[in-house]
Structure formats: C-alpha cells, structure tokens
C-alpha cells in the first residue's frame, strides 16, 4: 500500500483511507476501527469523546480569528458492507482489504472496497490534520453500525454535538448535493421446517445462480438488475413441476441492503432425471441471458453435485419457493414530485436455511412513512399465506428535503465558485443517517456530499481517484467559507 499511496492525491486523505482499510470493520464488529479513529484524533491534539453505543465525537478549536464563525459537524460511519465473490479466500474478521489501482479508480480484489464510508472517515480525519485550512469550530461525528440497522445513529443522544450545520460525507456522486433520503424497515419471515427422509436411490445436486451484478438495494433498485433469489425460485418452481425433487436447503444473498448476487439450492433427485434437469437449466440460462441482456450480462445458472442428509417436507418446499416467487422485490412506486426518484421499493435480500427453519429477509424503503409500513404489512400478509411468521424491525425515518436551508445555499455557492457550475440538488432512494440524527437535532441544517463511487455493497465497488480530489477541494472550501 505504500507504493499505492505514492501515486495518489490528496495524500493525507488517501493515507488515512489505506490505513483504515487494513482494519477489519464489518458492521457490529468495528470496535478496532473505531479505536483507531480515536487514536488518530488524539494524536492530532483534538478533544475526543465516545458514547456508550460506540459513536465518536471529535472537536477541534477554530483557527485564530475564526472563533466566532458557525460550528460545522462532519458526519460519517466507520463500518462497511462485507461482501465477497464465491471462491475468494478473504476473512473479513481478520484480513485487510486488498486494494489495487485500475487506471483512475481504486478497487478491492474479490471483496467490497469500503469506500462507503471509508472515504468519509478518511476525509474528516484529513481535515483535522490539515495545517493550512482556516476554519471555524469543527466537530466530527463518526457513527457505528450504519449498514445493518443504523444503531449508532439510533443511539445518538441529543445535544452531544453543538454545531448547527452538518455535512454528511456518505454520498456517492460528484456534483450532486443530497438533501433528502428514504426511510426503511426490515422484515424477517421465518418458517419451522419438518425434515423428511430423502427417497431411496436419489442423488444430491446443487442448483447455483451466480454472476448477477447485485448492487445497493436503494440506489440500484431501479436499474433492472437480476435478483438471484427470485431467479433461483423460478428455476426451482419449473423443476419441481417436472421432477419429484426433495428440496434440502435454499441459501442466497449476503446483506439485507445489497441486491442478491448469488444463490443456491440443494435437492435430492433421481439420477435418471439428471440429463433432463440439466437441459431445463441450460434453457433457463439462455432465457435469462436474453432477458437481462446488457442490464446483467453475467447471469448464470448451473447444476453441480451437492451434499445433504435430509430434505424438507413437500409442504415446506412449496412454501419456501412460493414466498420467494410471490414476495415483492424491486420498485413499488416512483415519486410523483421528483422525476426519476424511486419513492417506495423492497429488496428481497437474504434467504438462509438453518437447523429446523428457513428465513427470508426483506428491506423496504420509502420516502413516505405510510407507504413503507403498508408495503411491510403486505410482505407480512404474503408470508402468512405461505406459512411464514413475519416480524418487522430496524425501522428508521426518512430525511425531508429543505432546499432553502443555509447549508444548501452555502455548498451550492462554493461549488459554483470552484468549478463554474451549480450542483444538482436531489433526494436519494437510500438510507442516510440524517433522518435519525434530525430526530434529536431538529434545528441542525444538513447536506450530504461525496465523490464518485460505483457498485457499492458489491465486490465490484470502485471509487474515482480524480473525483476524490475534487470532493476534497469542495470540502475544504466549504469549511473555509462557513
């Protein structure tokens, strides 16, 4: 990574990012990374506090002569989504992220990169370390566990930070100023399984869907990409109608907030049906490639040898496949007010078969709370019809846009002065912590910025090096102007 840093600018920001990338920081397992942030801030002579949840608040005094300027708080989260390609030998609990340069972007090797939101954390630390920046009072709020429930933001006490202006550093498109986001709610659907002895003389097979692009379950939900869980269910539905299969397990997806890229099912079948099963699967593979085309060109399904000792009952198998077929996934409604903005959606993100039960997880998002709860209720009703029990959790509010606020006007003016053009002001169909923070800090003005990064929450995640340089210029100029 030392050689990599030699060719990256701005060096202070990239140095912090590369160092952070050496520390495992999966959601709910980010304590070591949080401790590293605390150590960096203390080494810079800043005041540092940590609350009982694990969030970090850093304070730096104003530059001489700037003491009377308004305080600004920069906010980012220290955890990352941990996804890897099947066959990648990476342990997110121990191994550093293997970062490489690919032209003008940085990528990881076979895993998520963690630019979401490592760039935000690194840029905040780089600001604190900048000896040339002239600024008013600064605060930095680093939250934990944003990606799996926003528990850091939920546990944030009111009155902890004092700034009346907040820059969230968790956006992913240069030249866009985010001023609103969707809220969300998780629904977990579980069913107890009745094991059944497999039929005598059967063999075990594994049906595998792979190669899907996946993506962020909010930002990419309207892109028309394949969901491996839905495709797996379609395949199982077709095969179970033609062959006497004994379904043993269904597994797929990796994170509730990522579109499922890979999924598999293990089943028992008469070995004499193997040729027919493979022929049907080959036809499905060709049909899907034609259907998705350039939207998801890597979609693939195949049959291979599997391993299992028991099968589900026939009723269980029908119920599992039924929920994966009938459960919603994708865009439910578009915003009537903002062109091109998804208003309500659901991501069928995970399915897991474990001892005695199967669980299917959905993440529903909406900028309208009533729509969010209505869709979650519909998921619960569908689950009940399929013999599942549904439970909602991890609900969080959206962030209502305030286009006329002072921070929006400030960021717009600074961007125009720097780059000669205004930023595009927008709301996004994704969850930022701003909505939760607003609940306890009702008067704080908020805006979110960031550099170009793509395919976050997937092993294809990559970030633009030139865009990070522009984002850094913008962040510094905002703080100098505030």
Nearest to 25 by CA among 130, 115, 107: 115
| pLDDT digits 0-9 by tens, 246-289 | 999 999 998 888 999 999 999 999 999 999 999 999 999 999 99
- Give the residue carrying structure tokens 């040339």: 132
DSSP 72-140: EEEEEE--B---B-TT----TTTPPP-EEEETTEEEESSB---HHHHHHHHHHHHHHH-SS---S-EEE
At 34-60, the pLDDT tens digits run 999 999 999 999 999 999 999 999 999
Give the integer Cα–Cα distance in Å for 247 and 198. 9
Q: Any idea of the CA torsion for 217, 219, 225, 231, to the nearest 10 degrees?
A: 10
Assess contact for 54 and 128: CB atoms under 8 A. Answer: no
- Nearest-angstrom CA–CA distance, 138 and 160: 13
- Catalytic positions: 79, 146
Output the pLDDT for position 72.
98
pLDDT of the residue at 3? 82
Cis peptide leading into residue 117 (ω within 30°): yes
Rounded CA-CA distance 481/137 in Å is: 12
Which CATH class name applies to 185-396?
alpha beta
C-alpha distances out from residue 276 to 238, 308, 317, Å: 12, 21, 21
Q: Exposed e or buried b for every residue in 194-207, given b needs 16+ CB within 10 A?
A: eebebeeebebbbb
Q: Which residues of the chain have pLDDT under 50?
A: none
H or E element: which one contains 472? helix 465-481
Any bridge partners for residue 462, and if so which? Answer: 107, 454
**3-state SS, residue 220:** coil
Q: Determine how many CB atoms are found less than 10 A away from the CB of residue 343.
A: 21
> Which residues of the chain are in CATH 3.30.70.360 domains?
185-396
pLDDT score, position 2 = 65
**If we measure between CA atoms, which residue out of 411, 449, 476 comes closest to residue 133?**
476
Choose among 221, 230, 267, 223: nearest CA to 248: 267
Q: Where in the chain is the domain with CATH 3.40.630.10?
A: 2-182+398-481
Q: pLDDT value at position 139?
A: 98
Find out whether 21 and 107 touch, Cβ atoms under 8 Å.
Answer: no
Which CATH superfamily, name and number, covers 2-182+398-481?
Zn peptidases (3.40.630.10)
DSSP element (H, E) containing 60: strand 56-60
């Amino acid at each position: 990574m030392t050689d990599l840093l030699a060719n990256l600018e701005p060096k202070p920001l990239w140095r912090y990012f590369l160092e952070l990338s050496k520390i495992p920081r999966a959601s709910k397992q980010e304590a070591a990374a949080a401790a590293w942030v605390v150590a960096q801030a203390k080494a810079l002579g800043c005041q540092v506090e940590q609350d009982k949840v694990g969030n970090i608040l850093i304070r730096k005094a104003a530059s001489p002569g700037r003491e009377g300027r308004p305080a600004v708080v920069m906010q980012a989260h220290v955890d990352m989504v941990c996804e890897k390609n099947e066959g990648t030998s990476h342990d997110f609990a121990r191994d550093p992220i293997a970062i490489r340069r690919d032209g003008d972007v940085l990528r990881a090797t076979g895993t998520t990169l963690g630019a979401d939101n490592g760039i935000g954390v690194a840029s905040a630390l780089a600001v604190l370390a900048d000896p040339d920046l002239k600024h008013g009072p600064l605060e930095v709020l680093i939250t934990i566990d944003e990606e799996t429930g926003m528990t850091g933001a939920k546990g944030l006490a009111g009155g902890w930070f004092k700034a009346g202006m907040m820059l969230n550093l968790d956006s992913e498109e240069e030249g866009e100023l985010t001023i609103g986001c969707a809220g969300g709610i998780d629904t977990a659907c579980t069913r107890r399984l009745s094991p059944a002895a497999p039929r005598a003389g059967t063999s075990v097979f594994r049906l595998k869907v792979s190669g899907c692009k996946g993506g962020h379950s909010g930002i990419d939900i309207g892109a028309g990409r394949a969901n491996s869980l839905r495709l797996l269910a379609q395949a199982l539905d077709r095969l179970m109608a033609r062959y006497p299969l004994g379904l043993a397990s269904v597994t797929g997806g990796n994170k509730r907030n990522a579109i499922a890229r890979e999924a598999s099912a293990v089943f028992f079948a008469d070995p004499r049906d193997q040729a027919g099963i493979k022929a049907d699967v080959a036809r499905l593979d060709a049909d899907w490639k034609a259907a998705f085309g350039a939207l998801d060109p890597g979609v693939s399904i195949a049959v291979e040898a599997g391993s299992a000792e028991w099968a589900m009952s026939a009723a269980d198998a029908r119920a599992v496949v039924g929920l994966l077929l009938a459960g919603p996934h994708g865009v439910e409604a578009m915003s009537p007010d903002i062109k091109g903005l998804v208003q309500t959606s659901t991501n069928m993100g995970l399915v897991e078969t474990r001892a005695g039960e199967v669980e299917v997880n959905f993440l529903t998002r909406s900028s309208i709370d009533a729509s969010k709860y209505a869709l979650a209720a519909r998921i619960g009703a569908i689950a009940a019809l399929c013999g599942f029990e549904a439970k909602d959790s991890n609900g969080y509010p959206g962030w209502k846009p305030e286009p006329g606020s002072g921070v929006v006007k400030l960021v717009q003016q600074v961007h125009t002065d720097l780059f000669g053009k205004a930023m595009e002001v927008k709301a996004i169909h994704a969850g930022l912590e701003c909505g939760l923070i607003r609940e306890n800090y009702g008067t704080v003005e908020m805006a979110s910025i960031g550099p170009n990064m793509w395919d976050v929450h997937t092993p294809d995640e990559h970030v633009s090096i030139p865009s990070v340089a522009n984002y850094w210029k913008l962040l510094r100029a905002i703080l100098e102007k505030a």
